[in-house]
Structure 1
Amino acid sequence: MFQIENLGEAKFKSPLQLSTVRGDNIFNFVDDQDRLVYDLSLEAYNHCLANNKEPNCLEKAGPRQNLYFEPNTITAAIVTCGGLCPGINNVIRGVVMALHYFYGVKQILGVPYGYEGLNPEMGHNFVELTPDSVKDIHQFGGTILGSSRGAQDVGVMVDTLAANNINILFTIGGDGTLKGCNAIGEEIEKRGLDISVVGIPKTIDNDIDIIDRSFGFETSFDIAGNVLRDAHNEASGAYNGISIVKVMGRDSGFIAASAALAMPVVNFVLVPEMDFQLEGKTGFLEALRQRLETKKHAVIVVAEGAGQHLFQKDEIRKDASGNIQHDDIGIFLKDKIKDHFKEIFPITVKYIDPSYIVRSAAANSSDSVFCSGLAYMAVHGAMAGKTKFVVGRVNNKLVYLPISAVTQKRKKIDLESEFWFAVLQSTGQPFTL
């Protein structure tokens, strides 16, 4: 299930002066047989024991003693795709520094504006990346390479990689980007080319399956938490004041839920995973009325993909990445709340949408550390000839995973989980709406 593909036998000795023995106080090379159990539950252990089966294991990330690529002869490239996210520049910097200083790779190219940059017809030229050119970029949000959404012809992109003698392509992006990376890898395999493709999962929604979290997510709910604090000030500063804060979360509500836990002034969290109802005795509007009668103010945080079942949809619209375009639940809620309370009692509603401010911010300290670790481990895996893999943290350990394993479905909040129960305890909202 979690087998990582390799381009071939690793024949070159690593330039890293690491150890192979325990106890000498020097970090050890990681062997491909160093694997970590995926399911840590006693139930899974007993099942494997009873059926005489090996458990599903993950390949531990880290530097290998032998490399597939001869470092001073190769060219690496980096591409960033999809929406912005805190930490992209940190990852770019980490990859460049690791290639240059750890392995002595001389030629590192930046692919401008996402996968468009691998299509010559778009007219974007590669940029050279050096330690000097990237040394300060971690201080800024966004991506110095630019980004774009939408697919390009896989054959054309592989032609571009081959024509420019690129040996390793690092792709930084979310679900669609990773699927594109895997498709590039499959085309490379069909042609018998020696090119490694690597995914570094990026999405503030934290919806990449299997991995604990994606980079940028923690910064996002950190910043959103500060917005919620101010929204609470607005709500509590008015009689029957209501603040509605809409955050990103197309299919998963991790930002909304985590921000509410980080800044526990929120009274309602509405996420895509729940099919809440507006009307009725157990509906959201009735719960909001009870809250206002008791406390005279309320703070609501809603993920952008929540409540889509409440809209009349004549057709399904998709963006350039193939994602379903949602109707604006924030404006919808604001209008519905105003209409509902018009004949009950006066209210004051403030609507705040910080989405693009959140996603374009620079990474916080925790995410910055995480981004560097992901970048370094991605480089180690690529230099060893591994391909069509992502680096991610699972059970709090950095591992390599096949791209195909993490793109089968989106990770969502389990409404029966301890995490969601913690949200309900923090907000005091009913178990069902």
Structure 2
Amino acid sequence: MTQDDLRVTTLGERRVPSPVEHRLFTPDNARVLLEVDSVEGAEPSALGSAATDAKPLAAAPLMFEKAGPREHVYFDPRKSKAAVVTCGGLCPGLNNVIRHLYFALRDGYGVPTVYGVRNGYLGLTPEAPQPPMELTADWVEAIHHQGGTMLGTSRGHQDPAVMVETLVQLGVNLFFPVGGDGTQRGAHAIAKEAARRGVDLAIVGIPKTIDNDILYCFQTFGFVSAVTEAERVIDRAHVEAKSVPRGVGLVKLMGRNAGFIAAGATVASGEVNFCLVPEHPFELEGPRGFLAKLERRLEARGHAVIVVAEGAGQGLMDGLDPTAVDASGNRRLGDIGLLLKERISSYFDGIGKPVGMKYFDPSYYIRSVQANATDSLLTERFARQAAHAAMAGKTDLFVGYWNGRIVHVPLAASVGKPRHMAPESELWSAVQSITGQMRW
């Protein structure tokens, strides 16, 4: 990667004085380091890792453009129209984003019209079940107290040319797609189509996924709320497991490609004995396999709590088509939760030591709750900075949370490259320490 890969596209020269009511404007050359860690006496490398010696490096460290209000904006707010769309799976905080974005544009900049596109990107096609609606202050006033998205959502591929044409017909020049990697891939395609047509359209994405797996966004909104709810389920599984002889509480959580929710809830609960995630393949059979480890745990302590992410153990599935995908283009997964439930029960029945199995699958529950205070604060930051970026004529980017700052991340630098939990990360080290799963 080079600094050019992190360069943000701007539609043109900004000449309109900003109407924003504070004067702490962010200069366009403000930057946030990609990597803040270093080694004393050494310069940070251009690839974002700490240098291992004190030799000077020819390349400068990589940096993101810092988000924030610019002193001059590209669009005249009084002549602008905006649209926001929510796509993909549900996530705590979607309604908060809609609400904060509306007020940032209407009250902060004076944009007279903000549309809500209903039912995801499908709402920008002729097949839309409902046309885009004009948002009002009364409509958004209390939506942040509800889970889900009041605009609705959908999955699936739509033609970028058709979507750009719909936005042009609506007179929209500020467009805010809220969603995960698939949504941002769609946003990138829309940005390229708008550029091809020469349309003055700022596309600024807001990253959303409870899996927390978007590259160059340290934390997405909804993640903490989901972990909080998952912790409660784990605690109930622990109660069930301790209440019967050889009790096993098995909890399956979301996490298609990354185990951040499973790991975060494991650490938050402190009651988990085995945490299984996509980043760490495991075997079921053999003396060092999972079933043997679980047997030793039950012999020693009499109960066990297991947390498994939905994307873990996919190599254990028989007859799984590795090329099968869903409507969003994601690989179809086998149900690791049900597989473990069956294999654990049959294994212990086979050795004459049956277990008291309790199985929990709270996937849709944890993503449907309303945002907690932590995520509510993050949604406000994302929405406000997205409004600033779009008004400044920035496009083909999303606003990411990086090293404690909100930054502009070019979509091409992130989409299609999901973030994973590194084996040497502090979070995974905490999981290993709390569960002790490597010792069994």
Shared fold per TM-score greater than 0.5: yes
Give matches, 1:347-362, under 5 Å: 347-362=355-370
| 1:3 and 2:3 are equivalent in the alignment | no
| Separation in structure 2 between the aligned mates of residue 234 and residue 381 of structure 1, nearest angstrom | 49
| 1:340 and 2:377 are equivalent in the alignment | no
Q: What is the Cα deviation at residue 121 of structure 1? A: 2.9
| Separation in structure 2 between the aligned mates of residue 123 and residue 359 of structure 1, nearest angstrom | 24
TM-score of the aligned structures, taking structure 1 as reference length: 0.96
The size of the alignment, in residue pairs, is 424
1:380-433 Cα distance to aligned partner (Å, 9 max, x none): 0100000011101111111111011121411111122222111010011017x9
Please report the RMSD computed on the Cα atoms of aligned residues, expressed in angstroms.
Answer: 1.3
Structure 1 residue aligned with 2:124: 118
Give matches, 1:198-209, under 5 Å: 198-209=204-215
Q: What is the Cα deviation at residue 318 of structure 1? A: 1.1
Structure 1 range deviating more: 120-129 or 278-287: 120-129
CA shift in 2, pair 1:47/1:134, >3 Å:
closer
Structure 1 residue aligned with 2:74: 68
Task: Report the AA paired with residue 360 of structure 1.
Answer: S
| Separation in structure 1 between the aligned mates of residue 329 and residue 416 of structure 2, nearest angstrom | 15
Structure 1 residue aligned with 2:386: 378
Q: What are the ranges of 5 or more consecutive residues in structure 2 without an aligned counterpart?
A: 47-54
Task: Report the AA paired with residue 211 of structure 2.
Answer: D
| Residues 45, 60 of structure 2: 8 Å contact kept | no
Q: What is the Cα deviation at residue 37 of structure 1? A: 1.5
| Residues 21, 108 of structure 2: 8 Å contact kept | no
Structure 2 residue aligned with 1:24: none
| Separation in structure 1 between the aligned mates of residue 238 and residue 373 of structure 2, nearest angstrom | 26
| Residues 201, 392 of structure 1: 8 Å contact kept | yes
| 1:156 and 2:156 are equivalent in the alignment | no
Task: Report the AA paired with residue 370 of structure 2.
Answer: A
| 1:322 and 2:329 are equivalent in the alignment | yes
Task: Report the AA paired with residue 428 of structure 2.
Answer: W
| 1:390 and 2:390 are equivalent in the alignment | no
Structure 2 residue aligned with 1:85: 91
| 1:264 and 2:270 are equivalent in the alignment | yes
Task: Report the AA paired with residue 172 of structure 1.
Answer: V
| Residues 4, 386 of structure 1: 8 Å contact kept | yes
| Separation in structure 1 between the aligned mates of residue 238 and residue 261 of structure 2, nearest angstrom | 17
Q: What is the Cα deviation at residue 41 of structure 1? A: 2.6
Structure 1 residue aligned with 2:49: none
| 1:285 and 2:291 are equivalent in the alignment | yes
Task: Report the AA paired with residue 324 of structure 2.
Answer: R
Structure 1 residue aligned with 2:184: 178
Task: Report the AA paired with residue 346 of structure 1.
Answer: P
Q: What is the Cα deviation at residue 213 of structure 1? A: 1.0
| Separation in structure 1 between the aligned mates of residue 22 and residue 143 of structure 2, nearest angstrom | 29
Structure 1 range deviating more: 366-375 or 411-420: 411-420
Among residues 412, 415, 429, which one is paired with 2:423 in the alignment? 415
Give matches, 1:182-331, under 5 Å: 182-313=188-319, 315=321, 316-331=323-338
Task: Report the AA paired with residue 322 of structure 1.
Answer: G
| 1:45 and 2:52 are equivalent in the alignment | no
TM-score of the aligned structures, taking structure 2 as reference length: 0.94
| Residues 185, 416 of structure 2: 8 Å contact kept | no
| Residues 100, 131 of structure 1: 8 Å contact kept | no
